[in-house]
Amino acid sequence: MSRYVVARVADIPPGTRKLVEVKKHPVAVFNINGEFHALFDRCPHQGGSLCSGLVTGLLTAPRPGQVEYSRKGEFIRCPWHGWEFDIRTGKSKCDPGQFYTRAYEAGVASGASAIEGRYAAETLPVVVEDDYVVVEV
């Protein structure tokens, strides 16, 4: 697994997402309340871009006449036909064992450690003061 710097933390505020390219693959990076998650940006149904879908939550009916809404902002609805996926795992809401898109490890690395080996010159001191979102592919 290799780590790739895909954005500055400030580029993806909580509740938003960003489409990036990692090793020529489209990856949708989501910020759920400060946690970063990354999904392969292709719906397993017919290839819709999940990054351009609607972020939603989980609607359940524990018994007839009772509806509960939870996990707000943790699911993405494909814009083409409405299949929904858990942003944390990439698994579909309707059949998680059969339908899923690939989920990548994502997180935050601080300053120079995030970009070590990529942009740092060997003979000159480099100071990087920002935090970066990194995806492991």
Among 36, 83, 104, 132, binds ligand FES (CB under 6 A): 83
Q: Single out the segment in contact with ligand FES by CB under 6 A; choices: 8-16, 27-35, 76-84, 114-122.
A: 76-84
User: Which candidate, 123, 132, 103, 114, places its Cα nearest to that of 41?
Assistant: 103
What's the farthest any 2 CA atoms get from each other in the chain?
68
DSSP code for 87: T
3-class DSSP state for residue 50? helix
Print the binding letters for residues 16-55 with ligand FES: x by CB under 6 A, - otherwise. ---------------------------x-xxxx-------
Q: Single out the segment in contact with ligand FES by CB under 6 A; choices: 13-21, 54-62, 73-81, 94-102.
A: 73-81
User: Which candidate, 109, 91, 108, places its Cα nearest to that of 39?
Assistant: 91
User: Is residue 8 at the binding interface for ligand FES, with CB under 6 A as the rule?
Assistant: no
User: Is residue 100 at the binding interface for ligand FES, with CB under 6 A as the rule?
Assistant: no
Q: Are strands 35-40 and 25-32 parallel, antiparallel or unpaired?
A: antiparallel
What does the binding site for ligand FES look like in residue numbers (CB under 6 A)? 43, 45-48, 78, 80-83
